Amino acid sequence: MPDPEPQHQAAPPTPADARPAGPPKISVGAFEFTSVGVRVRGKPGVEQWKGPLEFALWCQKAGPWWIGDLLNAGEGSFGEMFSQMCEGLVSPDMLNRYAAVARKVPIENRTPNQSWSAHANVARLDVGLQRRFLKAAIREGWSSEELRVKVRDFCREEGGTR
């Protein structure tokens, strides 16, 4: 996929009470992305839609990884106060889940053709078993739910979670 060149126009994150009115914006060509939608400027031709659409799909798929990795790196550098920058934007439980999965599943084990949920299902396993189960899921065509059940059953057979 060609990498679109977004121009990020948002200021660095600020506490919820100090945020400016209106959502931050990222522009990709004639397309202006905000946290609540996309506005299209002018009448771009059909060929101009491919990059922004791929960008949106890429963000949707990669977003949980980005958030988890940023939280882990930021908390490593700045402590717990770092996660407070997200206060009110996403539930604390979801932030904790993103961070935990990103911490437990190394980048080398993350496969772009599998969902974040599939990776979350193997996060409790050691890294070798993560790879084994993710490869089996691709080979066998398991859904995320089927993978979750296979991992659960494996952990039960092995005498508990890993």
Provide the mean pLDDT of the chain: 87
Residue 27, strand partner residues: 7, 32
DSSP state of 11: P
pLDDT digits (tens, 9 = 90+) for 52-80: 999 999 999 999 999 999 999 999 999 87
Domain boundaries of the chain, sorted by first residue: 111-162
Three-class DSSP category at 60: helix
Specify the higher pLDDT residue, 71 or 35.
71
Above 80 in pLDDT, residue 162? no
